[in-house]
């Protein structure tokens, strides 16, 4: 998705009106997200059902997964702003139109486009906002895999100004930040963080000053919600320090990790310029500890709790055992379609992997399941045919339970291994605590 509005013009098909099927699609994709992600956590208050005239701004690191997560987490109708080239993808145009998406023609897609026609996009979106509609926009301008926010474009703020000039619903804006623990992995976790609601009318000054201030406030709100780093290595290290501290606390959730991670990031910036040797010592101890964890196939939570069993797996073991025959059928029947999306996404840009996997799965799985059900009904006599069809439908969901348990399983490690890990962890925590004690009060 792209949102560089200042250099774009509206497509003639831009119609942000609500489609009768929109509610059905949002409900369906909400269930799809619950299948794709093992856990979706929320922090903050999302827009309610009666929200009107709001511009939602979000970070953009996971291609089409990002807008789907935001749209399905909010209770109100939101029209996403998207690059017009998405409408050329077979099947996607139908979904975008029924989701109320707004197509934008970018200058880099059509270099000969007259820039003076940009007013048309503001007019349509301004009318939509002033009339009570809501917009989702990604002000970074493109999906990326950088460890920090890209510079924000001013398009979202200009939309707010144009909507205010219509003297309809007073426009507001709100940040929605997205965090992933392993964004390209099926059955990983994600966190949706909602920032405070801002009123555009509260910003003073002339038009350009208000646009500049609104854009800066959007960047600040998103930055306050996200864990960032100057490089991928630094961002990973910040996340690992946050995990160490979170696992020593009482709440081991992405929300707790995110909150601690932002504190760690601030501490890293505060100390990095005055005591670089101290930061380097923390980095060395943390890297050595996590290298040993990776070698042994363990995670920090197992060392922190002293348990070698499954990590954060709350499902009773008897239930998984009862589902074992059905899960085994699911693994056998759906082995091929499980790997097809992975093959399709292999070698693609990291920020697009999840989108490609999900798109391929939404195409492959229904076709495969339909074929299994049809084959059962045609080739087998009743009532065996009905039983086989039921297994074809239910078995992949049982297999998912076992797949989650496999990812969370405890690995075997000797007592010496665990003792060495405990020593490395204590050394890492000691270095972290020393750095924390050097922070100004």
Q: Beta 172-180 vs 79-83: how paired, if at all?
A: unpaired
CB-CB neighbours of 324 under 10 Å: 12
Tell me the pLDDT tens digit for each residue of 150-208.
Answer: 889 999 999 999 999 999 999 999 999 999 888 888 888 889 999 999 999 999 999 99
CA dist., res. 41 & res. 256, Å (int): 11
CA dist., res. 259 & res. 5, Å (int): 32
Q: Is residue 269 over pLDDT 90? A: no
Which one is predicted more confidently, 382 or 119? 382
**What is the Cα gyration radius of the chain?**
24
Which one is predicted more confidently, 411 or 243? 243
Q: Is residue 3 over pLDDT 50? A: no
Which residue, among 251, 258, 253, has the nearest Cα to 193 in the 3D structure? 258
Q: Is residue 252 over pLDDT 70? A: no
User: DSSP class of residue 292?
Assistant: H
Tell me the pLDDT tens digit for each residue of 233-250.
Answer: 888 888 888 889 888 876
pLDDT, position 9: 38
Q: Is residue 312 over pLDDT 70? A: no
Residue pair 400/361 in contact (Cβ under 8 Å)? The answer is: no
CA dist., res. 127 & res. 121, Å (int): 10
Q: Is residue 110 over pLDDT 70? A: no
**Span between the terminal Cα atoms of the chain, in Å:** 42
Tell me the pLDDT tens digit for each residue of 193-216.
Answer: 999 999 999 999 999 999 999 999
What's phi and psi for 211, nearest 5 deg? -60, -45
* Assigned CATH topology for domain 5-225: Glycerol-3-phosphate (1)-acyltransferase (3.40.1130)
The pLDDT of 27-35, averaged and rounded, is 92
Which ranges in 136-206 belong to alpha helices (H)?
155-165
Strand ranges (E), 256-394? none
Please provide the average confidence, as pLDDT, over all residues in the chain.
84
pTM above 0.95, yes or no: no
Which one is predicted more confidently, 312 or 418? 418
Q: In the chain, where does the domain assigned CATH 3.40.1130.10 lie?
A: 5-225
Which residue, among 98, 435, 95, has the nearest Cα to 267 in the 3D structure? 435
Confidence band for 103, pLDDT divided at 50, 70 and 90: confident
């Amino acid at each position: 998705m792209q949102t560089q509005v200042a250099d774009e013009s509206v497509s003639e098909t831009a119609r942000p009106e609500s489609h009768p099927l929109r509610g059905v699609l949002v409900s369906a994709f909400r269930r799809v997200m619950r299948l794709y992600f093992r856990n979706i956590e929320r922090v903050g208050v999302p827009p309610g059902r009666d929200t009107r005239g709001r511009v939602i701004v979000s970070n953009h690191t996971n291609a089409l997964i990002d807008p789907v997560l935001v749209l399905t987490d909010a209770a109100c109708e939101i029209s996403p702003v998207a690059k017009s080239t998405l409408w050329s993808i077979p099947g996607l145009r139908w979904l975008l139109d029924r989701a109320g998406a707004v197509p934008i023609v970018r200058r880099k897609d059509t270099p000969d486009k007259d820039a003076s026609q940009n007013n048309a996009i503001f007019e349509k979106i301004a009318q939509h906002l002033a009339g009570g509609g809501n917009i989702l926009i990604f002000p970074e301008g493109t999906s990326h895999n950088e460890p920090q926010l890209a510079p924000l474009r001013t398009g979202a703020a200009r939309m707010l100004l144009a909507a205010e000039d219509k003297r309809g619903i007073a426009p507001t804006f709100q940040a929605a930040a997205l965090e992933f623990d392993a964004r390209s992995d099926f059955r990983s976790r994600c966190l949706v963080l909602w920032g405070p609601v801002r009123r555009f009318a509260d910003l003073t000054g002339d038009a350009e000053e208000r646009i500049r201030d609104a854009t800066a406030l959007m960047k600040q709100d998103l930055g306050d919600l996200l864990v960032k780093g100057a490089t991928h290595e630094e961002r990973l290290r910040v996340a690992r320090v946050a995990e160490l501290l979170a696992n020593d606390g009482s709440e081991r959730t992405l929300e707790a990790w995110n909150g601690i991670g932002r504190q760690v990031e601030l501490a890293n910036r505060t100390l990095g310029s005055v005591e670089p040797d101290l930061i380097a010592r923390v980095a060395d101890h943390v890297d050595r500890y996590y290298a040993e964890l990776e070698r042994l196939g363990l995670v920090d939570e197992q060392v922190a709790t002293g348990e070698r069993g499954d990590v954060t797996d709350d499902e009773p073991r008897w239930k998984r055992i009862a589902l074992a025959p059905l899960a085994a059928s699911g693994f056998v029947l759906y082995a091929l379609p499980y790997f097809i999306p992975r093959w399709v996404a292999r070698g693609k840009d990291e920020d697009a992997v999840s989108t490609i996997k999900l798109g391929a799965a939404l195409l492959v799985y229904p076709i495969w399941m339909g074929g299994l059900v049809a084959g059962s009904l045609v080739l087998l006599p009743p009532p065996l045919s009905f039983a086989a069809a039921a297994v074809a439908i239910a078995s992949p969901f049982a297999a998912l339970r076992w797949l989650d348990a496999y990812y969370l399983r405890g690995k075997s490690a000797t007592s010496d291994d665990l003792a060495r890990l405990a020593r490395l962890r204590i050394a890492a925590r000691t270095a972290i605590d020393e750095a924390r004690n050097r922070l100004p009060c």
